[in-house]
Structure 1
Amino acid sequence: MRLLELHARALELAASVVDAVQPEQLVLPTPCADWSLRRLLEHVVGQHRGFAAAAGGAGPDLALWRDVPVHGDPAGAFRHSAARLTAAFALAAAAPHPAPLRLPEIRDGGPIPFDRAVGFHLLDTLVHAWDVAVTLGSPTRLTAAVEDDPVLAGELLALAGAVPAAPADRAPGRAFAAVLTARESAGPFERALALLGRDTAWALSAR
């Protein structure tokens, strides 16, 4: 399944960003309002666990989606949980008709088609990877790596364009902010970020 291959590629790119995180950097602020880098990574690892549980047939139990402490080894926590998620998605995809996933944070836990759920996580993975990279002051390498893979970049842009953008969907506290205007020269990753309300000019010095 091409989507699973793209998802695995996104996870590896994100892991390579998290590999660079040092314990003393976990206190840094991130583009996610009021979230330190530690909180962001604990959220990401918790999402890995939640999606893996959903792929295994779990119901929309919010307890399965709680943030997971990363302690002093964020890279290890990320890679371990990502490997479990990849295995869970592969097992679910092996069924003749993969079952929909119950995601408590979307549609009040209503069933989401398997491919769409994988797409949701692929989008989340790359956007949060950018959040981490820009927090560390080095988003360019990630952006270039994604855009060097036209299929992955195209999938990311298509997924971002499909996210509901009505004011109620982008209100404070929602996953994404209001759509921004990308530069005319922006590549697909930057355009995807703008569609999701991420300010690519964000910098620690501005916070």
Structure 2
Amino acid sequence: MDIRDLDRRAGGVLGEVVMQVRPEQLWFPTPCPDWTVRGLLRHIVSENEGFAAAATDGSAPVQTWTGGRLGDNPAGAYRSSNVRIADAFADGGALDRLMEVREFGTFPRRIALTFHQLDCVVHAWDLAKAIDIPYEPPADMVEAALTLARRIPDTDAARGPGAAFERGVKVPGDASELHVLLGLLGRNPDWVSPLD
């Protein structure tokens, strides 16, 4: 499996959700604590720009990872940042070249792309729940994200306020793989918007 192809498809699935966000929904709450839909979109664009810059230059300043701008066209900002990701990783011979991923460390670019693919799958769910639309990602995307999520430590030192993920949430034994993934990353699969 070419991780670049999987990541491009995951970015496309996330893009399909982003394109359904209406202006009046930008201030809706999301399953991500402290983020509205607009805040989550800004985070997604920022992450795309950070991954693209770090893939190209080996690292990127924190301002790149956090400074994404939506302007008055969040969907357009997402599309542009998503193209940057694909372009930055297009040179297939360089997937073993190292790049720094924020504060998480330095990894081969192929491993960094697995982080990005996981983000796409989970943040698409976050957005879909926030704007109340169906979301059923392809099984291979969920499986790849789940493989990585199972390796992320679930400790007080690594999770919680200010960290990338909250502590894990228990899900029923018969939960779908998507719900297992969400639980591992601190999401409650049964989250309901307080606006409902």
Please confirm whether the aligned pair reaches a TM-score higher than 0.5, indicating the same fold. Answer: yes
SS state of the match for residue 26, structure 2?
Answer: helix
List gaps (5 residues or longer) in structure 1: none
What is the deviation of 1:67?
3.0
- Are the counterparts in 2 of residues 156 and 189 from structure 1 also a CA contact under 8 Å? no
- Are the counterparts in 1 of residues 50 and 60 from structure 2 also a CA contact under 8 Å? no
What is the deviation of 1:84?
1.2
Which residue pairs with 1:128 in the alignment?
Answer: 123
Mapped to 2, the partners of 1:114 and 1:80 lie a distance apart of 21
SS state of the match for residue 9, structure 1?
Answer: helix
Aligned-partner residue type, residue 98 of structure 2: P
Mapped to 1, the partners of 2:60 and 2:34 lie a distance apart of 26
What is the deviation of 1:94?
3.0
What is the deviation of 1:83?
1.0
Percent identical among aligned pairs is: 36
Which residue pairs with 1:94 in the alignment?
Answer: 93
Aligned-partner residue type, residue 184 of structure 2: L
What is the deviation of 1:104?
2.4
SS state of the match for residue 102, structure 1?
Answer: strand
- Cα-to-partner distance string for 1:110-157 (whole Å, 9 max, x where unaligned): x2121210011111111111111110012xx32x2x2xx332221111
Which residue pairs with 1:112 in the alignment?
Answer: 107
Among candidates 126, 140, 152, match of residue 151 of structure 1? 140
What is the deviation of 1:61?
1.4
Mapped to 1, the partners of 2:73 and 2:93 lie a distance apart of 32
CA RMSD in angstroms, aligned pairs only: 1.7
Aligned length: 196
Q: TM-score, normalised by structure 2?
A: 0.92
Greater helix share, 1 or 2? 1
Aligned-partner residue type, residue 20 of structure 1: Q
List gaps (5 residues or longer) in structure 2: none
